[in-house]
Amino acid sequence: MKVFTTNGTGWIGSHVVPILLAKGYEVTALARSEESAKKLEAQGVTVLRGDLQDTEVLSKGASEADAVLHLAYNHDFTKYGKESAELDFAAIKALAGPLEGTDKPLVITTAVGTPRTPRPLETEQAVDDITNPRGRAELVAAAYATKRVRVINMRLPYSVHGDNDPGFITLIVQAAKKHGFSAYIGEGTNLWSAVHVDDAAKLFLAAIETPADKFPSNPTSLHGVGDEGIPTREIAKTIGDKLGFETKSIPQSDAISHFGFVGAMFATGSNPSRALTTEWTGWEPRGKGLLEDIKTGTYIQ
């Protein structure tokens, strides 16, 4: 089976690709730089040079594959609402087009959380927030489900954590070091979801290996969630204890000035369920939880 993936050397892709290769898949990956290309080729991956703007290259990769994983996204938050979103939508269309009429899987990466007021536990069958670019991406992909593309939305939490994680928890730790204390916002009861990167990678494999008749619909959404909801004050306290800092509350009005853009997420959070994902695919998270990873991993050394 041939798999084409974007961002095969990224944070998640660098964990997905070895799993695919170990299972005997032939992997082709998009590589933007010579450095990325060499890393992929050293693993036995076929490389297509280009980036998300190269829609012809994306379509070529998809046309030669039995399954497509879209892991890339431009996380420049100054362009998040418009330029990054439009680039993502065009990439999804370029990847989906060659799969029309084939019933082959296209797995796109979206999110279980957006900066908004917390709401009851979100299930896989909930419609994502279409005011957010990641939610709108699901609508773009869904249009191809009626054209016999098997669309799977891989919704990931704010924290896909593990050693050398470049993501939000690293930024929250940096804020604590900068200000000399570990902060949470308000009462810190809002919930934060997370998954270990190794578990997330295994779910991408499960997504393409699970037979279509195991899913209730097309498109289908999966929740790659380990910790379904950790109070943010517990995250702050774990960071503070590890650093030897005081942990204290700050008002929501100070969230952005204290944390930077991640303050919008840390002030709200999300608490999604993975129950249906496990029922449909058999996937169960096995890796360390986020708090244990903060205590024993590479976030604070």
Is 296 within the bounds of a domain? Answer: no
Number of structural domains in the chain = 1
Cα-based angle 67, 84, 114 (whole degrees, multiple of 5): 85
The per-residue pLDDT for 176 is 99
pTM (2 decimals)?
0.94
Is 174 within the bounds of a domain? Answer: no
Q: What is the DSSP letter of 214?
A: G
Is 253 within the bounds of a domain? Answer: no
Is 247 within the bounds of a domain? Answer: no
Answer whether 144's CB lies under 8 Å from 211's CB: no
Is 201 within the bounds of a domain? Answer: yes
What single letter denotes the amino acid at residue 42?
A
The per-residue pLDDT for 53 is 95
Sheet with 26-31: strands ordered across: 46-49, 26-31, 2-5, 67-70, 105-111, 150-156, 220-223
Which segments of the chain have a pLDDT < 70? 75-81, 113-121, 128-131, 133
The per-residue pLDDT for 121 is 47
Sheet with 191-196: strands ordered across: 159-161, 191-196, 227-231
Closest CA relative to residue 84, chosen from 109, 65, 67, 106:
109
Is 295 within the bounds of a domain? Answer: no
Is 12 within the bounds of a domain? Answer: yes
The per-residue pLDDT for 74 is 75
- Give me the CATH number covering residue 143: 3.40.50.720
Domain that holds residue 149: 2-160+195-226+271-286
Is 89 within the bounds of a domain? Answer: yes
In DSSP notation, 250-263 reads E-GGGHHHHHTTHH
The per-residue pLDDT for 82 is 75
